[in-house]
């Protein structure tokens, strides 16, 4: 029996690599739904290759184009958030890969869980914004959330066969991004072009800027709390510029386990798809000769303030991680449009966090409201 997979965010970096994985394992997986934000051209091409049941373009202005290209092939086309929700709940799918950018991933993820689909989660914002709600719902519906981030996949792999109460702490590794060796003075005038050059990973723009500013690691810290049921004090970050050790777990007897390998997102994607199995993959193996030295250093939370802000948001809890995420989406966009300096991003996020009203147990409606308000506040500061 092939596993039927819906891909929400099929034209992005994770989505296209997920299709590469499925292409390599045609006996194991098939594509049920393809959904994308705005890239109508690639979505049409993907749909013609894979022949999914339905295709969704979130951007309503591109609906006609997609509909015209696909309706003669018997593929149904939907659009907008309603379309994404229909895609998330599509009956015959076994698993939904959520790889949409930002807050927009939340509602479709919740709908997929309500429809009892297992989730392969690439959009860390889902857990950042609504980790408590999403994990409770997943438990209630008895579905699995499988991490696709390389760090969380590494932790997940290290926890296989180990019981949760035996975990002492985890280390998330961070490459440190392109500015690890910059002096604080040099960081004043960073251009979007420089920030978009990640040393080890080729990813989408938003996550690449987040990596450069270490907000990506901050969001991962919050995501890890919910995925693995940890206290903030059980989560640590260590800089590892080679991105070979993807993360580590320390157990209560002092033993550390790590998962490592060449930086290639296809592995965590495959693991999320195939778990609890591992399938035979033919991609190149890690070779120690290519990495004779693996280095580790302390993460500097003074230089990379987003990391400190993320721990702060995690400790405050409630709606504050949602505020952090919303403000970050706004500042990253502003930075990419050259309306905000690189080093000003944490200032705006911090001020937005301070000015937002605290809600201890926000429901989905309150989170949506909080997300909108935080965006407004952050925009005002820019």
Task: Enumerate binding residues for a copy of itself (CB under 8 A).
Answer: 157-158, 160-162, 166, 168, 171, 238, 245, 248, 250-262, 264, 267, 270-271, 274, 277-281, 283-286, 288-289, 291-298
Strand 245-251 relative to strand 167-174, pairing: antiparallel
Query: Cβ of residue 215: shortest distance to a copy of itself, in angstroms?
Result: 22
Minimal distance, residue 307 CB to a copy of itself, in Å: 16
Name the residue with tokens 């450069």: 212
Minimal distance, residue 259 CB to a copy of itself, in Å: 5
What would the two tokens of residue 264 be? 């290639």
For residue 81, which of 110, 52, 43, 53 has the smallest C-alpha distance?
A: 110
Task: For a copy of itself, give the closer residue by CB, 142 or 277.
Answer: 277
Q: Which residues of 146-176 are buried (b: 16+ CB within 10 A; e: fewer)?
A: bbbbbbbbbbbbbbeeeeeeebebbbbbbbb
- For a copy of itself, give the closer residue by CB, 110 or 245: 245
Least Å distance between CB 55 and a copy of itself?
29
Give one DSSP letter per residue of 65-125, joined into a string: HHHHHHGGGT-EEEEHHHHHHHHHT-TT-SEEEE---GGGGHHHHHHHHHTT-EEEE--TH
Q: Which of 32, 244, 247 is nearest to 156 (CA)?
A: 247
- Cβ proximity to a copy of itself, 26 vs 254, nearer residue: 254
> Which C-beta is closer to a copy of itself: that of 194 or that of 256?
256
**Nearer to a copy of itself (CB atom), residue 244 or residue 330:** 244
Minimal distance in Å, beta carbon 197 to a copy of itself?
A: 25
CB of 243 to a copy of itself, least distance (A): 14
Angle between helix 320-336 and 364-381 (nearest 10): 40
Cα 340 from Cα 353, distance rounded (Å): 18
Beta bridge partners of 238: 173, 298
ω into 276 cis (within 30 of 0): yes
What's the min distance (Å) between Cβ of 126 and a copy of itself? 24
Which CB atom, from 173 or from 356, has the smaller least distance to a copy of itself?
A: 173
Nearer to a copy of itself by C-beta: 253 or 354?
253
CB of 27 to a copy of itself, least distance (A): 15
C-beta atoms surrounding 235 within 10 Å: 22
Nearest CB to a copy of itself, comparing residues 67 and 150: 150
Q: Least distance in Å: CB of 166 to a copy of itself?
A: 4
Inter-CA distances, 202 with 97, 199, 315, 320, Å: 19, 8, 31, 30
Select 72 or 280, whichever has its Cβ closest to a copy of itself. 280
CA distance 243 to 39: 30
Handedness of CA 345, 312, 204, 380 (dihedral sign): negative
Which residue from 102, 221, 207 is spatially nearest to 173, judged by alpha carbons? 221
């Amino acid at each position: 029996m092939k596993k039927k997979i819906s891909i929400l965010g099929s034209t992005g970096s994770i989505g296209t690599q997920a299709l590469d994985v499925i292409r390599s394992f045609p006996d194991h997986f098939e594509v049920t739904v393809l959904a994308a934000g705005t890239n109508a051209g690639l979505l049409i091409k993907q749909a013609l290759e894979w022949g999914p049941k339905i295709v969704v373009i979130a951007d309503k202005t591109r609906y006609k184009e997609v509909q015209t290209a696909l309706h003669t092939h018997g593929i149904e086309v939907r659009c907008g958030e309603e379309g994404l929700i229909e895609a998330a709940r599509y009956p015959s799918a076994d698993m939904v890969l959520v790889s949409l950018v930002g807050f927009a991933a939340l509602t479709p993820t919740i709908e997929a869980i309500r429809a009892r689909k297992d989730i392969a989660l690439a959009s860390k914002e889902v857990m950042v914004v609504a980790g408590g709600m999403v994990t409770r719902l997943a438990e209630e519906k008895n579905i699995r959330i499988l991490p696709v981030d390389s760090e969380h996949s590494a932790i997940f792999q290290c926890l296989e066969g180990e019981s949760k109460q035996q975990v002492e702490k985890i280390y998330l590794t961070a490459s440190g991004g392109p500015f690890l060796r910059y002096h604080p003075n040099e960081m004043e005038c960073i251009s979007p072009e420089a920030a978009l050059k990640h040393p080890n990973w080729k990813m989408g723009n938003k996550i690449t800027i987040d990596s450069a500013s270490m907000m990506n690691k901050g969001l991962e810290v919050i995501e890890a709390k919910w995925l693995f049921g940890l206290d903030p004090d059980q989560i640590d970050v260590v800089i590892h510029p080679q991105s070979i050790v993807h993360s580590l777990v320390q157990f209560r007897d002092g033993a550390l386990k790590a998962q490592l390998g060449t930086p290639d997102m296809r592995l965590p994607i495959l693991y999320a798809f195939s778990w609890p199995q591992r399938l035979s993959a033919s991609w190149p193996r890690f070779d120690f000769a290519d990495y004779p030295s693996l280095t580790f250093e302390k993460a500097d939370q003074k230089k990379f303030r987003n990391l400190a802000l993320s721990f702060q948001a995690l400790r405050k809890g409630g709606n504050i991680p949602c505020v952090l995420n919303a403000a970050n989406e706004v500042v990253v966009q502003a930075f990419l449009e050259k309306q905000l300096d690189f080093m000003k991003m944490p200032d705006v996020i911090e001020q937005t966090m301070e000015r937002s009203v605290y809600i201890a147990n926000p429901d989905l409606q309150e989170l949506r409201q909080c997300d909108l308000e935080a965006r407004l506040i952050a925009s005002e500061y820019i």
